Every structure is written in structure tokens, then in C-alpha cells.
Amino acid sequence: MVEMIDGRKVAKEVNAATKAKVEELAKKGVTPGLAVILVGDNQASQRYVHMKEKKAVELGINSIMKTFPADVSEATLIDTIKSLNNDSAVNGILVQAPLPAHIDEQKVIETIKPEKDVDGFHPINVGNLFLNLDKKYPVACTPKGIMTLLEKYNVNLDGAKVVIVGRSSIVGKPMLALMLNANATVTDVHSHTKNLKDYTRDADVVVSAVGKSNMLTDGDFKPGAYVIDVGQNLDENGKLVGDVNYNPETSKIGYITPVPGGVGPMTIATLMQQTVEMCEWSL
């Protein structure tokens, strides 16, 4: 029977450590600050931002919300980011995606100062990650949270065969870099890969970040594999499901992250953890 990788449990541990750091900083008169910018009325984005704000307040992090209508001008958004860049009370800036079509998302990302880019999407931070530089810089929160999960479950990545399904800038590419930096043997497969499932069936660890339900099934993994399901999809009944369809009673998968309760809680916990780390770095 497959064993669940409990993201909620590990996230709780990460949050406890983050709260302890916040309390230590408070003794020095310092409060970490996280600014989140939300554009438009996308309900999924609104829910996600609300969860972030709630967790920040719970941990003692100063949460700064900036909300704009969908027709906000790119110039207004850029000016807001520049103002937050210059605000010493703000340690991390996050612009919730997706943005309306008339706004250049890459331009927005590059406007955020690298040292305040809590999402780790700025080209300078991406470059630091791929070069595996020995310095302090933010990393994309979902992949960083996945690495924490694997560490907590004592997964030895040194030399392991790892397959990443998907090549987005949010998960796939930073995940590739983190796995390479951990000395794993990594393959990234995507929509142009031929015989994609031949790769997943040979992997010790599979990270699926496609956003397509039933993309992979029980037979697409080798027995005992670790499967990290990043998918956040709604099925025909409106239920949240991942990319992987499996039977927990009969599956030969070794370990898997459930959806919900796997990667999702780790992403938010890592966002809070990284905000506090960036506050410490700024001191």
C-alpha cells in the first residue's frame, strides 16, 4: 500500500520554526514584512492570497496587501512595485499570477529588486540557482518546499534517477536546478517528449507539475518510487485532484504527496519561511 507524504505535518513543523524566528527578530525590534499584489478578480488567486495573508498574520509577519482592478495600467503596477522596493519595512514582494493580458508579466518580475523577490523568479535569482552559487538568494517556493519534504522523508537524491514532468518557470525549471544541485541524475519531460511514460517508469523520484488530471496512473511508475504530485486540478465534481490517478490500496508506488494536503501547504510554509530568511539577510 502506498504511503502518503504528509505535507500538512511538515508544513506545521516549518511554520513553527518560522514563528520562533519571528519572535527572536521581535526582540530586536524587527518585524518581517511581506507585500502581496493582487490584480483582478480571479477567484482562485483571491483564495490563495487570502491563505497567504492569514498564515502571515498567524506567524507574526506584517502582511501588506495591494489590490487592483483588472484594468489597472502597467505603469501603475510598476510604480507600486518600485515604492515597495524602497520601503524598508518590506522584505518580500509577491505579484500573484496570472496577470491580465495587457501587462507584461516578465517586466513586472524584473522590476522587483532581486533581494525582495520572495518568489525567486527574477532572472538574477534564477541564475544564482542554476549556477548553485554559495550565497543567499530566494528560490521558487514550491520547488524549495518539495526539497524540504524529500529531506524530511530521508530521500537520498545523490545519484538518484529523477524525472520532472513539466518545464514551467514556476516549478519545472527551478526543480531541475535544485535536483542537479543535489547531485541527482535529472531528466525533464514535457509535451514534446516522445514516449514520456518510459521515463517515469524508470525513475526513483517523479515530480509531476503539469496541471492535468489523470496525466499519470499507477502503471506509469516503478514499484517503490517517490511521487511528488504538484497538480491542482478540479474534476467533474469540482473536487481538487492532482496529476496522478492511483489506488492507495493496491498501488505499487512507494510514497506520494496527496492532493490536497501534500505540496500545497509546503508552498505557503516555504513562502513564510523565505520571507523571514530574507528579513534576516537584510540585517
CA 54 from centre of chain: 18
Residue type, 155: V
198 included as an active-site residue: no
Of the residues 21, 52, 55, 173, only one is catalytic, namely: 52
Of the residues 96, 232, 273, 274, only one is catalytic, namely: 96
Q: How far apart are CA 202 and CA 23, in angstroms?
A: 46
Residue 121: which residues within 8 A CB-CB, separation 6 or more?
109, 140, 169, 170
96 included as an active-site residue: yes
12 included as an active-site residue: no
Q: Helix H segments across 86-171? A: 105-111, 123-131, 141-152
Secondary structure, 3-state, 106-123: HHHHHHCCHHHECCCCCH
- CA torsion 130→126→17→36, rounded to 10°? -170
Element (H, E) at 263: helix 263-282
Q: Is 186 exposed, middle or buried (0-12, 13-18, 19+ CB in 10 A)?
A: buried
Strands of the sheet with 185-189, listed across from one edge: 3-4, 255-256, 226-229, 205-208, 161-165, 185-189
Of the residues 21, 55, 117, 119, only one is catalytic, namely: 119
Q: How far apart are CA 78 and CA 253, in angstroms?
A: 46
Which residues belong to the active site?
52, 96, 119
